[in-house]
Structure 1
Amino acid sequence: MTTTAIAVATRGTRAMRVPGRILLPIGFILIVLVLQELLTRGGILPAGYFPPVSATLAALAAELTGSTLYGALFSTLTTWLMALVTALVLGTVCGVILGLVVPLEALLRPAIEFLRPVPSVALIPLVVLTLGTGSEGALFLAVFAAFWQVLIPAIAGVRAVHPTALDTARSYSFTAWQRVRWIRLPAMLPHLATATRLATSTSLILVVTAEIIIQMPGIGSEITMSRTTGNPPRMYAYIMLSGVAGIVLNTVVRRVEKRLFATHGLQEER
């Protein structure tokens, strides 16, 4: 078999795998939704806690015709985007510095290990007292949670460069900045790609959580309002919206990541 034939067969096999990876999860979700609908309609599950899926979809359709849903979605996504960008910039810059300056990283390691496991939700009372109940509170909580997921991979990425590559750069009289720009930063990309995916979902979760607890405008506040007013279908409609938003954002990040890896000729980290 020629090399061309092998390549064509490989692409065909991959093309056949893609529908399976998409259809199987969708099929499983549909089965769960149908089962929940039947159990609720049959009185096995309490409708007050588990409304029929049809009622949830009807509530979602009703919200799509109004302006409340779009305003809440815009508020949540705006805070999420600001948090993600801030965490990526701060985490990458601090990671590069700590990765290059080993004594500084050793000095700050105890503080990092102390703060990193602290749940952002535990800081909500402090955030309310200091920053109030505005979007700044959700922004801080999301940045705090996502920052550590970027910092640690950034440090590891800076130090992942093979010593031979650095020795070669020195033999060609590369400056310190050129070594960072052309050797260390490309070595960081696989680590930062994984960190970005984690930070994307983490920051969205923290933004919605802060909106639920602190009652800031957004998807989370609409979930709490629906629960308070005794409207479970509307509550589940916004929960469904938050899940769809997470899937869409993760898909967008993955596509951007693949395009960047293809542009730089790098192997995607699994």
Structure 2
Amino acid sequence: MNQPARSGPGPGRQGPGARTRPARAGRTAGRTGSLAGRARRPTARARGLTRHAWGRSLLGAAGIAGTLLLVELLARGGLFDEQALPPATSVLARAAEMAVDDGFLGDLWITVSAWLGGLALAVALAVPAGLLLGSLPRLDTASLAVVELLRPVPSVALIPLAILVFVEPGRVERSLVCYAALWPVLLHTLYGLRDVDPVAKETLRSFGFGPLGVVWRVSLPSAGPHVVTGVRIAASVGLVVAVSAELRAGGDGGLGVYLLATQSGGGRPDLMVAGACWAGALGVAANAVLVGAGRRLFPRRAAAGAGP
């Protein structure tokens, strides 16, 4: 008597469900491994960036130490008079004493307040102006000649005019810093707007966004790294102009006035160089703060090595 054929899988057979389970399990394991690999990639990249930053910091520290050692050897070796080139140890000792000197700290604060005030005013004027000029090509072309005419004018040459217009030393200094810092921020804003993807702008326009919406959502984020770079350059230029204005125009106080006072009564070159070192430390600190801000605001650019 013939037995009916069994429809289910036999001992040596595999049904459709049995065939698909290993394949699905393999695909699931592959996806899990891929996700785990993706999760590990940012960590490895972040570690690479951290090692790179530490390496640069160590090289910078080695460069500073080597420069100080060279100055110390030249001064102690008798190649230069100590009145012309004071030893590095004496300069560092005077700089440390200045950190607890109320008179010097007051002068330093006057310079810093004028410097930061002029820089903030320059950013507040240059970024909107750059966005306006970059969004209106005809206006950009019409103003190009004016920008190229005013940009090369040295801020120090405008000190007599600034004294006549603003009178007060603090306003004179802030106006000169603003004038000098205005151009790097403006030009870098324009450069950033020229790199904006036109497809992204047209896409937003097709969805009904107006000019302000396009500027806010596409143009400004794309130009942001360039703006931060412009602010970094403007900060260095503004500090130089602030001290130079105090040296030329004088005033009630400031780092430039303090440097002038160190040359009275026979002169103290160690105090003068120590004060200049404090100005350099301000510039380094400002640059470090702006670099950190750029990396936080634009982490993708920093991870790609194109950050500000």
The match for 1:120 is: 155
Checking the alignment, whether the CA contact within 8 Å between 1:133 and 1:215 is kept in structure 2 is: no
Change (3 A) 1:42 1:197: same
Q: Which runs of 5+ in 2 are unaligned?
A: 1-32
Checking the alignment, whether the CA contact within 8 Å between 1:83 and 1:139 is kept in structure 2 is: yes
Q: Distance in 1 between matches of 2:166 and 2:239?
A: 19
- Aligned partner letter, 2:161: L
CA-atom RMSD in angstroms: 2.4
The match for 1:28 is: 63
Higher relative contact order (CA 8 A, sep 6+): 1
Could you list the per-position Cα deviations for residues 86-125 of structure 1 after superposition, in whole angstroms to 9, with x for gaps in the alignment?
Answer: 1111001111111122222222211111111111122123
Superposed counterparts of 1:58-207, under 5 Å: 58-132=93-167, 134-207=169-242
Secondary structure of the 1:228 match is: coil
More deviation in 53-62 or 253-262? 53-62
Change (3 A) 1:16 1:170: closer
Q: Which runs of 5+ in 1 are unaligned?
A: none
Is the radius of gyration larger for structure 1 or structure 2? 2
- Aligned partner letter, 1:179: V
The match for 2:307 is: 269
1:237 to 245, 254, 274: 274
Normalising to structure 1: TM-score of the pair?
0.91
Q: Distance in 2 between matches of 1:114 and 1:91?
A: 16
The match for 2:285 is: 248
1:265 shift after superposition: 10
Change (3 A) 1:27 1:104: same
1:6 shift after superposition: 5.8
The match for 1:225 is: 261
Change (3 A) 1:7 1:172: closer
Secondary structure of the 2:195 match is: coil
Checking the alignment, whether the CA contact within 8 Å between 2:246 and 2:254 is kept in structure 1 is: yes
- Matched residues, number: 270
Q: Distance in 2 between matches of 1:17 and 1:131?
A: 47
Q: Distance in 2 between matches of 1:157 and 1:209?
A: 30
1:213 to 242, 248, 255: 248
Normalising to structure 2: TM-score of the pair?
0.80
1:245 shift after superposition: 0.9
Identity of aligned residues (%): 32
